[in-house]
Amino acid sequence: MSVAAQRRRTIRASSVARALAIIGDRWSLLILATAFQGVRRFDDWRRGLGVSTNVLSERLGRLVRSGCLARVPAHAGQRRQEYRLTPMGAAIYPTALMIWRFDRHWSRQRRLQPGALLHTRCGALAMPTLICAACRRPVDAREVRYEAGPGAGLDRMPPPRAQRRSTVRPDAGTALATLVGELVTILGDRWTPQVLAAFFVGAHRYEEIRRETRIATNLLADRLRLLTEHGLLEQRPGRELPHRHEYALTPKGMDAYPVILTLLKWGDRWLAGRAGPPLLLQHQPCGKALDPLVVCDCCGAELDPHEVTFRRPRSRLRPAPSP
C-alpha cells in the first residue's frame, strides 16, 4: 500500500474520536444513560428502549468488550446474568449529565424529559455545571487554549460500521422520550461530534474543518448540513473572502462544549495509553491545565451517580429490584 493510501486511512489523534469509536452511536449512549438510572437486565433495556433484540445484544457485547460494562451473575448461585457499569463505564457519567443539561436547555422534547435533578448530598434541585478544578470558575470555550500533547499524531481510521446513523424518532410513549432529547440523535454517530469539536479549536471554513477531521467530503457535507438544520451551526460570509461562506457556532452550538469536553477528558483518562493525551488544554483565566469537573450549581460538590436522583414522568423503564 502506498504512503498516500495509508495516510488516507488515518485520522488526527483525538480523545474525542477514540471515545466515540466505542460509545458514539445512539443505542450505546442510551444503554449507558439508563444504566446510570439503575437498569441492569437485558429485558428491561429491550422493553424500555424499544430496541430490537439483535441490536441490543450487539451493543451490550461491544460495551462489555470495550470495558464499559461487565456481565455478572444476577444473584449468587444463579445462571441468570445482568450488566453492571465498570469504573471505566461509570466515568462516562459527567458526559451523561452534560447531555441531560443540554437537552433541558435546547431540546424540543424537553417537556417529556426528567424535570429536575435532585442532589441528595445537599438536598437541592441542581443544574449540572462544568467548572475548572483549579479555579472553580465555569468553563467557557472562548477561554480555553489548545496545544499539541505528547500523544499527538495520527490514529488508524476505525472500520466502518454496518449500521447507518439512526433517523428513528423517539415515540412520546416510550421511556426513551422521557430520558433524552435531540442531542443523542446528533451525537449518535462518531463523525458529527468530531465535526462539532473542530469548531472549538478554531476551524470555520470547509477546508479547515476537513483538514482537522480528515473525514470524507460527502460525510463532512452531510454532518455540516445536519448541525446547521439542528441549529448548532450557521452559515455566514467569510471574514477574509466574503464571497465564500464559512460556518460559525450558534449559542446552541456553544452550549454543546461541555459534552465535547467531558468526552475528551474520558478519552484522555481511559484511551490515551502510554503516549498520553493528544491535546493539552489550558484555562486562560487561571493559567492552569484545564481539568473539567461537573458539579452541583448549589453546593459546588462534584456530582456522583449515587447522590443524584431524577424526577421524571412515569416511565415503562424500571431498574431491576435489588437482591
- Listing DSSP states for 217-276 in one string gives HHHHHHHHHHHHHTTSEEEEE-SS-TTSEEEEE-HHHHTTHHHHHHHHHHHHHHH-GGG-
- CA trace torsion 49, 54, 57, 61 (10° rounding): -130
pLDDT at 154: 86
User: In the chain, which ranges are E strands?
Assistant: 10-12, 69-73, 81-85, 116-119, 124-126, 128-132, 144-148, 154-156, 233-237, 245-249, 279-283, 288-289, 292-296, 308-311
Q: Maximum Cα–Cα distance for the chain, whole Å? A: 71
pLDDT of amino acid 1: 45
Q: What is the pLDDT of residue 189?
A: 77
Please give the backbone phi and psi of residue 231, each rounded to the nearest 5 degrees, phi first.
85, 15
Count of alpha carbons within 13 Å of 104, Cβ hemisphere only? 17
Nearest to 315 by CA among 39, 126, 84: 39
Which grid coordinates belong to 257? 462544549
Cα distance between residue 265 and residue 280, in whole Å: 10
The ranges of the chain with pLDDT < 50 are: 1-6, 112, 162-179, 313-323
- The radius of gyration computed from the CA coordinates of the chain, to the nearest angstrom, equals 20
Cβ atoms < 10 Å from Cβ of 289: 12
Give the chain's length. Answer: 323
Rounded to the nearest integer, the mean pLDDT of the chain is 85
**Alpha-carbon span 265 to 268, nearest angstrom:** 5
**Whole-number Å distance between alpha carbons of 74 and 132:** 39
Selected from 3.90.260.10, 1.10.10.10, 3.40.50.1100, 3.40.50.300, the CATH number assigned to the domain covering 3-155+170-311 reads: 1.10.10.10
Residue 11: what pLDDT? 81
Say what the pLDDT of residue 9 is.
Answer: 67
What pLDDT sits at residue 214?
Answer: 85
The whole-angstrom separation of Cα 121 and Cα 306 is 9
How confident is the model at residue 246, as a pLDDT?
92
pLDDT for residue 12: 84
Count of alpha carbons within 13 angstroms of residue 231, beta-carbon side: 8
Neighbouring-strand partners of residue 296: 128
- Nearest Cα neighbor of 101 from 72, 64, 139 is 139
